[in-house]
Chain A
Amino acid sequence: MNQKHFLDLKIPLGIVLTIYGIILSIYGLLTPPELYLKSANLNVNLIFGLLMLSLGMIFLLLSFVKKKL
């Protein structure tokens, strides 16, 4: 990347997705199944929480690896 530019976007992206992932996963674990009656009994908080957590970690890892090189 051109050194003039400014911000490694993977960091804010990684941070926001990781935070969302953690919040949603925990909330998904703590909420009773009744909450998911409307969503076809799928605990979407846990499912999408874990998905976002892993995506966020991948972004953070990528920016970390790049810095080491």
Chain B
Amino acid sequence: MLKANFIDYLIITIYIAVTISVGYFLKKYMKTSEDFFLSGRSLPSWITSLAFISANLGALEIIGMIANSAKYGILTVHFYWIGAIPAMVFLGIFMMPFYYGSRVKSVPEYLKLRFNEATRALNAISFAIMTVLMSGISMYAMALIFEMMLGWSLTESILLSAGVVLIYIFWGGLSSSIYNEVIQFFLIWLGLLPVTFIGLKLTNGLSNLAQKLPDSFIHSWKTLNTASQNPMGIEWLGVVLGLGFVLSFGYWTTDFLVVQRALASENMRSARLTPIIAAFPKMFVPIIVVIPGLIAIAILPELNQNSAETFEYNKTLPLLIAHYVPNGILGLVITALLASFMSGMAGNVTAFNTVWTYDIYASYIKKNMPDSHYLKVGKYTTVIGILISIGTAYIVKFFPNLMDYMQLIFSFFNAPLFATFLLGMFWKKATPWGGFWGLLTGILTAATHYILYKSNILHYASEMAANFYQAWWAWLADFMVTIIVSLFTKKKNENELVGLVYGLHKENLFSEKVKLTKKPEFWGVTALILSIILNIIFW
């Protein structure tokens, strides 16, 4: 266990004080439900894009990705350069015009306008469940780390982090969450960079580090020709279709947790720029997650003593910290972890808030109440959401590999959803019931695939490969069923679809007369080119 001293605790305390003050400062501005749930649609794109990336840079992302790269090596970069970046650029260029342009408050609300009430209900309810689960997982992961590093009990650290998040969101809603996410973004980077910095010094730089590792751990594509050559047990097709196309697009383009940040933007161009600007820092997140994982393989004594099968990979980061981080910076690293846990959790809580209040409560339980009523419901939903998350945290104790579990949940709900959105936004003949049955079939396909895999009827080389393919089949099922049902059911009237579907909009949503360097398309293409270059360098 670590010996944190007064400096470390001072740094942690200052962080918590700042976080809570931001919430307190924003309290007086929360007058309408739109202020609380959408920050009054008034934020500039540099803030929303850093919040966008930070809400995703939660506990699981950091601990899980470091664990992944200690286990699978540099293949982990596929989650970034083939996974996240293309999906984020696609969201900004092609999908945001419909999300932001239709003035919806949430992703489920878009589904209601585009398809029907049933499709919204299906998505809103599954999303609410998923969000609460995710939040609970994050909390458990955090508690586990703090228990191991500092000897805090599970209950103590859950109460500390959940309590702080509760206070600042209760006061300041989405604004509070977003402002804090930007602060958290900087602290996560500054707190984790020392780990990479010290590690690279100990291994004499990146090229010397690479020489100490097996070939399959330092090439991102070279070993993907056959599944048996690489530690992930998957070939390139599975990576491209499952992770690159379905899982990543499913997550980045339809998960309300991230989309909500862009909806808080001040205008259409900022909304479209949000995920695209966010793609740039996202591209370099491997510096603080993949490199530490590789360093761990080379220098961590525990990883050399234990065989690769018995090592608990989720302990990679805590062990690195315990061995190589001195007091002082230790406080900063712990703050970075705390910040990432809070940003992930606050993201989940604010998204859950909005979906519950607008898409479930205001749609099915109490319609047509005054705005102040929904503002109040939103605030109390925060409390209830966090309480359910805490319950979940104790349940997920029984699942061993957190990251795989997260992927599993995504592929149940998000992967098919991307097919529904793709057809909904770009094919005006998709009908309301086509959308509903497609989505339902997709979710059921994912669940069936999972059961078949778990009962050993389907075989894959690794859990990761199974997840990638599960996402792909769920997506395909949704896509096919939506098309087939659409051919036989009643279409929506075209004027109901204006602003929701490609080809049916009043003003041109896509091109605005501005300088090239202000165009989302310009930055989107730049991000793609950069990520291709990175792929080639680490081929």
A: residues with CB less than 8 A from B are 1-2, 4-7, 9, 12-13, 15-17, 19-20, 23-24, 27-28, 31, 35-36, 38-40, 42, 44-45, 47-49, 51-52, 55
Contacts and interface: CB of A to CB of B under 8 A. Distances in A.
Given A35-B327, A47-B197, 18 more contacts: A2-B44, A5-B39, A5-B40, A5-B266, A7-B175, A9-B183, A12-B22, A20-B11, A20-B332, A23-B10, A24-B329, A31-B326, A38-B323, A38-B326, A42-B197, A42-B201, A45-B328, A52-B190
Given A27-B328, A38-B324, A9 B47 contact: yes
A23 B11 contact: yes
Nearest to A35: B326
Interface stretch (B13-21, B276-284, B368-376, B454-462): B13-21
Contacts, number: 103
A39 B198 contact: yes
Most B Cβ at <10 Å: residue of A6, A20, A47: A6
B360 interface: no
B238 to A, nearest CB: 39
A23 B39 CA distance: 34
Contacts of A28: 328
The DSSP consensus for interface residues of chain B is helix
Interface residues of B, number: 39
Nearest to B327: A35
Given A6-B29, A20-B11, A40-B198, A45 B326 contact: yes
Contacts of B42: 2, 4-5
A40 B43 contact: no
A9 B47 CA distance: 9
Nearest to A5: B42
A12 B227 CA distance: 49
Q: What 3 A-B pairs have minimum CB-CB distances, sorted nearest first?
A: A45-B328, A2-B42, A40-B201
B182 interface: yes
Interface of B: 7, 10-11, 14-15, 18, 21-22, 25-26, 29, 39-40, 42-44, 47, 175, 179, 182-183, 186-187, 190, 193-194, 197-198, 201-202, 266, 323-329, 332
A39 B324 contact: yes
Contacts of B11: 20, 23-24
B329 A16 contact: no
A27 B7 contact: yes
23 contacts: A1-B266, A6-B175, A7-B22, A7-B26, A7-B179, A9-B182, A12-B179, A12-B183, A15-B18, A16-B15, A23-B7, A27-B7, A27-B327, A28-B328, A36-B326, A38-B323, A38-B326, A39-B194, A39-B198, A39-B201, A40-B324, A42-B201, A44-B328
A60 B478 CA distance: 51
